[in-house]
Amino acid sequence: MNENLYEMLRLRFPGNPDAPCLILPDGDRVSYDRLDRESARYAGLLVSSGVKPGDRVAVQVRKSPQALCLYLGCLRAGAVYLPMNDAYQRHEIEFILGDATPRVLVCRPQIRALADELAAKSAVARVIELDDNGGGALASEAAAQPDTFSTVVRTGDDLAAILYTSGTTGRSKGAMLSHRNLFSNADVLHRYWGFRPGDVLLHMLPIFHVHGLFVATHCTLMNGTPMFFEPRFDVGRAIELLPKTTVFMGVPTYYVRLLSEPGFTRKLCAGMRLFVSGSAPLLMETFNAFKTRTGHTIVERYGMTEGNMFSSNPYDGERRGGTVGFPLPGVSIRIVDDENRPVQGGGIGQILVKGENVFCGYWRMPEKTREEFTDDGFFKTGDMGKRDDDGYISIVGRLKDVIITGGLNVYPKEIEEIIDAMPGVFESAVVGVPHPDFGEAVVALVVRLADEAGGAMTEAGIIAALKGVLANFKVPKRVHFVAALPRNSMGKVQKMVLREQYA
């Protein structure tokens, strides 16, 4: 049996070859048959460029149908797809090319000179362009290839993709994901979230990240139904398209922006079946406001580059705000203390995960891989969490974000939730900064709401309010008001930036 991910997805394509897969902004529709033929052309181009099974293909381009066909073509050729954030600059690109040693680099025309320079240093055999509109040499050469291709046979253990982590705490690491890792998660999510005939996905996520490239895209392809394939999130465009769709996946920022629009109403969402949020924590204020405005309860889930999705609030059943639900079918989750013992009674500990979706390890880092897995095969996520009496899991922060002040552990999420609930607060972030006596001092960064109540808030007022509900060692030593919190492309607050800025 060919366990190549593309072949596993293709088996789910609809019987009608003219059934639409991608609905593009200009109204063009890419059928499943056309997607199959176009991905064959890209696979043929890669092979003609010298790409062999197991070779890496690095890609730093903007989202387009051609970029998606390149990904699928890469799978079909048996190569390893290596997407890069299109915001990466010289330092990040140079490191990844040197570490992954790809056979081919696909880039935007705007960085061709830099790409050629860095590719020469890393012995990349070929650099080829794909522009922001899906044109360029890559598309032109692919068009000249045959529209049939015999998908290369792969086992489930063969690598399908390498995605580099952000590297905020040191060297960036390449997470190796196999064909089985990706298929198993797609299959579970497709069933767990109740995908069905007639579903239409509104796809506004980037495709250099697991959320947009794997979760959203794979679920749609497994379902054999269409998706509106938009280049980016645009709130006006979302309001225009939501009445034509049934499923939407986004990061919390998308939901905040939708709620800021008067035209985003319950009537607009009447035909929607599912809203999913992830990649960053969803504020309770947003969760509740969305439910009140639309009548829909957002499904919040939990995952990471090293394994796609680990847990989710249920499709059928209570979707509990502030939690990421239960382990997905086939996934085991432990919450343990520093001695790797299970934490009891809702206590906080590190989250460990195990399942077919969990990655194979870090590229060319065998020692780091061994460190990050327990003897019985559980991956140490580095996330801190707790499980309530009903089994719902909540994320309280990253292990690296835990503040140790005077020898006592402080979990930022606990403080952030209290500050976020204060009148006049839009959101907050709590970090630890160096302190001569305590080792680390607790510092809060607060974004005010743009109204009188928010404007009247003071540092002393927030500290006084916290002293009434928290142990003194958890109360911030300082509160700084900021216009916005720094975020990465997926909406996660960059606490490393804050720690450096306020050290």
The last residue of a domain, from among 118, 153, 188? 153
Per-residue tokens: 293: 């405005």
Q: What is the CA radius of gyration of the chain?
A: 23
Q: Which of 360, 353, 346, 314 is nearest to 332 (CA)?
A: 353
Give the Cα separation of 53 and 154 in Å (integer).
Answer: 9
Q: Domain containing 53: what range? A: 29-153
The last residue of a domain, from among 113, 133, 153? 153
CATH of residue 406's domain is 3.30.300.30
Is residue 230 domain-resident?
no
Give the Cα separation of 328 and 156 in Å (integer).
Answer: 20
pLDDT of res. 344: 86
The last residue of a domain, from among 153, 178, 212? 153
Is residue 204 domain-resident?
no
Phi/psi region, residue 418 (left: phi>0; alpha: psi -120 to 50; beta: rest), is alpha
Is residue 328 domain-resident?
no
H or E element, residue 351: strand 349-354
Using an 8 Å Cβ cutoff, are 32 and 17 in contact? yes
Is residue 129 domain-resident?
yes
pLDDT of res. 169: 43
Give the Cα separation of 55 and 78 in Å (integer).
Answer: 8
For 397, the 3-state DSSP assignment is strand
Using an 8 Å Cβ cutoff, are 202 and 227 in contact? yes
pLDDT of res. 283: 84
Give the Cα separation of 32 and 196 in Å (integer).
Answer: 17
How distant, in Å, are the alpha carbons of 28, 385, 386, 444 from that of 429?
A: 43, 17, 20, 6
Is residue 136 domain-resident?
yes
Give the Cα separation of 288 and 377 in Å (integer).
Answer: 38
pLDDT per residue of the chain (503 residues) written in tens, 0 to 9: 999 999 999 999 999 999 999 999 999 999 999 999 999 999 999 999 999 999 999 999 999 999 999 999 999 999 999 999 888 888 889 999 999 999 999 999 999 999 999 999 999 999 999 999 999 999 999 999 999 999 999 999 999 999 998 644 456 899 999 999 999 999 999 999 999 999 999 999 999 999 999 999 999 999 999 999 999 999 999 999 999 999 999 998 899 899 999 999 999 999 999 999 998 788 898 999 999 999 999 999 999 999 999 999 999 999 999 999 999 999 999 999 988 999 988 899 999 999 999 999 999 999 999 999 999 999 999 999 999 999 999 998 888 888 888 777 787 888 998 999 999 999 999 999 988 767 789 999 999 987 645 456 899 999 999 988 888 888 999 999 999 999 887 778 888 889 889 98
Question: Residue with structure tokens 């922006």?
Answer: 257
Is residue 350 domain-resident?
no
How many structural domains is the chain composed of?
Answer: 2
Of the CA atoms within 13 Å of residue 398, those in its CB half-sphere come to: 17
CATH of residue 57's domain is 3.40.50.980
Q: Which of 107, 106, 101, 143 is nearest to 124 (CA)?
A: 101
Using an 8 Å Cβ cutoff, are 155 and 179 in contact? yes
Give the Cα separation of 411 and 428 in Å (integer).
Answer: 14
Predicted TM-score (pTM) of this structure: 0.86
Question: Residue with structure tokens 């306020």?
Answer: 502
Is residue 346 domain-resident?
no
CA torsion sign, 480 to 482 to 487 to 492? positive
Q: Which of 95, 306, 301, 273 is nearest to 197 (CA)?
A: 273
Q: Which of 81, 322, 11, 310 is nearest to 189 (CA)?
A: 310
pLDDT of res. 413: 83
Give the Cα separation of 399 and 383 in Å (integer).
Answer: 6
For residues 479, 480, 481, 485, the Cα torsion angle rounded to the nearest 10 degrees is -110
Is residue 222 domain-resident?
no
